[in-house]
Structure 1
Amino acid sequence: MHQCPHCSTTERQTKAGRTRTGSQRYKCRECQRVYTPEPKPLGYPEETRREAVRLYLEGTNFRRIGRVLEVNHQSVVNWINSYHAALPEASQAVDKPETLEMDELFTFVGSKKRKPTSSPSLTEKRGASLRGRSVRHGRRS
């Protein structure tokens, strides 16, 4: 049987449910206190956190890391942010190059065309009048 950490008795111990993490709780009948003899730690193991950081540095996104490690993606975000905050500041000054070579690249991506509207314009309608004049399609007689 388990020993009560408060009164040190080993007799009259009864089960009293479980904790959030699944550890068995006991109640001492002598001092009426509830205790957990071997509590499980809260949170995820450190190796899971390191694996999440390693996957992130390889370019994996937060949600995929969460699926792979079977943890919530927001936990992964919090771990990455805490590791980033723990990194030392980069104090190395970057040397500026004396010569810099650049190439120009011009790419035409699209055109500025008018988007079609849901209703046809006045000139597209058959027999529509435009400022009092009739617009007709087809041959003139």
Structure 2
Amino acid sequence: MIKETHECRECGSSNIVKNGHSASGSQQYHCKDCGAHKVLDPEPRGYSEEEKDWVYRAYRERGSKRAISRIFGISRCCVEPLARKKGREVDSVADGLRPAEENDVLELDECWTCAPENGRTNGGCDKRWLWVALCRRTRQVVAFVIGDRSAKTCARLWGRIPEEYRQAKSFSDFWKSYRPVFEDDPSHQQVGKSSGELAHVERFFGRLRQKLARYVRRTRAASQSERMLHLTTKLFVEWYNEAIT
């Protein structure tokens, strides 16, 4: 029994016993009446904007949640909610783009990563493809989507490209999913990787793999959900578009 006067935070019972410590060192208890396992005296912990900014920066620099927790002394369970909240606050990609110009050229390509299969958490993963449309003049990502490698996902990418950029000439590789979407578009051309027409978007993918471990080939890092994959990618694209200007 805990000798001091404490009550269970679930049922109010005083029939509680000590039950180890949390990762942050706080005393935990077990209630013998309702079976709750909780921290005895939780201390509310707020994070300053400066601390949050350091967490975002470390998260973007391939820092794992455990590493960020150890370095900054915050709970590992807080890292993902902070990143999720930041991702929701970020404006859409279109809001940070420079105005399109008459002779702009778009480069379209895709790269793969993994995410839990149908929301499963038991280790099963499916390939997910990041589709990107990048403006050659500004080097900015004008649109991106995450999905499978079908023509349906390609059409989603085209739908997210701002109207002013849809008039631009565009290039992609010979992947079959581009044909149904661009077969009636004379300004689109499919080319080989060695042509050099996709060099800028390939360089973007190289930078993406350098910054986000989940996009690295042959990595054990993976997103815990497709939603977190999207939010993390959105954070990176927002930072990249600002940094490239």
Would you say same fold, with TM above 0.5?
A: no
- Largest Rg, 1 or 2: 1
Higher relative contact order (CA 8 A, sep 6+): 2
Say which structure is richer in helix. 2
The structure that is strand-richer by fraction is 2
TM-score calculated relative to the size of structure 1: 0.40
